[in-house]
Chain A
Amino acid sequence: MSAQPQSGAGRFTGRWRELRRDPRFAWAAVLALALLLVALPFLTDWIAGRTWVRIAAFALLYIMLALGLNIVVGYAGLLDLGYVAFFAVGAYFYALLASPHFDLHLPFWLLLPAGAGVACMFGVLLGAPTLKLRGDYLAIVTLGFGEIIRIFLLNLNAPVNITNGPQGVNLIDPIHLGDLSLAQAHAVLGLELPAVYNYYYLFLLLTLAVIFVSMRLEDSRIGRAWAAIREDEVAAAAMGINTRNVKLLAFAMGASFGGVSGGLFAGFQGFVSPESFTIIESIMILCMVVLGGMGHIPGVIVGAVLLVVLPEALRYLGPLQSLVFGRVLADPADLRLLVFGLALILVMLLRPSGLWPSALRRRELAAAGGRA
């Protein structure tokens, strides 16, 4: 990098770098971000309408899911193609215990941690026999596991009706804390908060908690053990890491994040059906992690937001066509995924290590590229 103090651009980047080192700048940035996140539902509602507030809430949900999978894929380096199974377990756990289906209406604060626990159990159940498998064999086994869970959800309506089969479970209790139901509008400080806003704020809080846990995990003893296994399993074992247990822990942690998101999804959506938990969904979550930048929390967040928002934004392809060509040439619903597939390919071709990779990954990639 050649320094050019004379040029205007060089002076500007120099100032910028100085500014970034200033702690006051960091605080101001955090404050601005916090304000933006709090005001986001109002802004999106004002600019783009109520649907987009819902999409923002979904984006938060997927950030949680993606960060959960990030533990398995990004930190521990285990390819999991059936992650949606844990999401499904969490969602059905909440749906069955808080709906008229069994006429059980357990409280939310009890179901959420319990759902995480149940999903965690499933994670161990899957991990324990299979974690000695090498990379892609593990991938296909997790894929199979995801399908098994989905097929059971689809067919466990006979002879004993447990999951209500393809119809799914309806009329799930909305999330409520004590008497405070999130499905109703509330007035806070003179502001009317519709139901979607409440969910948005709850998801925001939980997402921040998940981000915090992810960050602390990454720097912990366990996180370093995961990184060691990811980089070189044999060497990690030689350094005294119990690779099996540590990998199992990654699976269980990732699964419990999935379980939490699942419970929130069921409460938010009001119904669950096996259709929401297909393999495509697993692949989507994996795309969020890899597209954003594996193992790098800001990257994963960007990936999740992008993959939730992009397909929704592509719905506007229809109006855009009539604007440019004067008529609708192709059904936007058909074009949507086509453009999405193309975007996946292009991003990976142009930025193989993700949109926002961690500094460490970037260095590794540069080193590998230099060798080859």
Chain B
Amino acid sequence: MDIFLQQLVNGIVLGAIYALVALGYTMVYGILGLINFAHGEVVMIGALAALTAVQLLMGSGVALPGPLIAALGLLFALPVCMALGYAIERAAYRPLRAAPRLAALITAIGVSILLQNAAMLVWGRQYHSFPALLPATPHTLAGATVSDLQIFIVALAAAIMAGLIALVHRTRLGRAMRATAQNPEVAGLMGVNINTVISLTFVIGSALAAVAGIMVAAYYGIAHYFMGFMLGLKAFTAAVLGGIGNLAGAMLGGLLLGVIESLGAGYIGPLTGGFLGSHYQDVFAFVVLILVLVFRPAGLLGERVAERS
């Protein structure tokens, strides 16, 4: 039972991070119908930019409390990622809006490769250790250990997601975003400035990515130029699992994927009598994805869309 609870806790923390990244994928997909492959790279840039800021602050000799340094690192990474998201959309995706969809996909892949290698030139190939800035004091909760950092990550992610839902469902901008997602041409006729809405969608998604990047780096204590790729892939999987284009779906999918992964990693060994080890963690996630999609082709919360012709 202890193992179960412990893995559940770990899974929820991982899932919260996945969910934040998945939201970026799902918002862009909902509006443009584009798999933004470069989103994982924005997460990576966020983590590395924050790392640089944190290292500078710690090296400056001024004794600041750890959480403040982390907050300042986040404050530095946020504008960097937002500008990056804006620039990517402006330079690489906007000219291709009328082009075949696969062209935009290849461009996204190109942006991803470009960012990865640019980051490698700037930060080098090595793994950087991310300093432990937030207290990792463990608490014992019904047999499972929970650290302050874990609680903080989940709480912050929940707060951000609540804010995002409020933004999309309560504000003028949110209404414009939903209208653009439904039908960009008609939204344009109704006086929505589509270009602004799409730009802002990228900026918001990139801000979430920056937060997620710092969370991952702080949680695992490591940042690396290649860290965004697998994370992005998992987050996209989570978005599809929940039903892509659907905000609540991305959150549910992210949490579910995180929990499935850590439970799978914890139980797959005993369940198969030691035949399959925890290396099969990723297989578990993808098999669940395939099974869910076979029975619910539009994801868990996705609406069934009639095929348009």
Contacts and interface: CB of A to CB of B under 8 A. Distances in A.
A136 B289 CA distance: 13
Nearest to B117: A338
B289 A342 contact: no
B275 A353 contact: no
Contacts of B116: 337, 341
Interface residues of B, number: 53
Interface in B24-42: 29, 33, 35
A234 to B, nearest CB: 5
Interface stretch (A101-109, A286-294, A319-327): A286-294
Contact of B287 (A148, A158, A286, A337): A148
Nearest to B34: A136
Contact of B100 (A283, A340, A352, A372): A352
Interface residues of A, number: 54
Contacts of B35: 136, 139
Interface string A222-241: 00000000001111000000
A283 B109 contact: yes
B121 A152 contact: no
A122 to B, nearest CB: 14
A140 B22 CA distance: 14
Interface in B88-104: 92, 95-96, 98-100, 102-104
Contact of B244 (A136, A147, A155): A136
A133 interface: yes
26 contacts: A130-B290, A130-B294, A134-B297, A134-B298, A144-B289, A144-B290, A145-B290, A147-B282, A147-B283, A151-B280, A159-B275, A283-B109, A291-B106, A294-B100, A294-B102, A335-B117, A340-B113, A341-B111, A341-B112, A344-B109, A345-B110, A348-B107, A348-B110, A349-B107, A352-B100, A354-B103
Contacts of A372: 98
Interface in A328-348: 330, 334-335, 337-338, 340-345, 348
Interface of B is mostly: helix
A334 B118 CA distance: 9
Contacts of B305: 134
Given A154-B279, A155-B277, A365-B99, A342 B307 contact: no
B125 to A, nearest CB: 8
A368 B109 contact: no
Contacts of A155: 276-277, 279-280
Nearest to A372: B98
Nearest to A354: B103
B240 interface: yes
A284 to B, nearest CB: 9
A140 B239 CA distance: 10
A141 interface: yes
Interface of B: 29, 33, 35, 92, 95-96, 98-100, 102-107, 109-118, 120-121, 233, 236-237, 240, 244, 274-277, 279-280, 282-283, 285-287, 289-290, 293-294, 297-299, 305, 307, 309
A349 B99 CA distance: 9
Contacts of A345: 92, 107, 110-111, 114
Nearest to B104: A348
Contacts of A133: 293, 297
Interface string A122-147: 00000001101110110111011101
Interface of A is mostly: helix
Contacts of A130: 290, 293-294
Contacts of B107: 344-345, 348-349
Nearest to B99: A352
Chain A to chain B: the 5 pairs with minimum beta-carbon distance, closest first: A344-B110, A341-B114, A352-B99, A341-B113, A144-B286
A217 B105 CA distance: 27
Interface string A211-228: 000000000000000000
A246 interface: no
A134 B293 CA distance: 10
B240 A341 contact: no
A143 B229 CA distance: 13
Nearest to B275: A159
A86 B244 CA distance: 27
Nearest to B125: A334
A79 interface: yes
A287 B297 contact: no
A196 to B, nearest CB: 29
Contacts of A233: 307, 309
A349 B274 CA distance: 51
Contacts of B285: 144
Contacts of A171: none
Contacts of B104: 348
Most buried by B among A132, A136, A368: A136
Nearest to B230: A279
Given A148-B283, A234-B309, A344 B99 contact: no
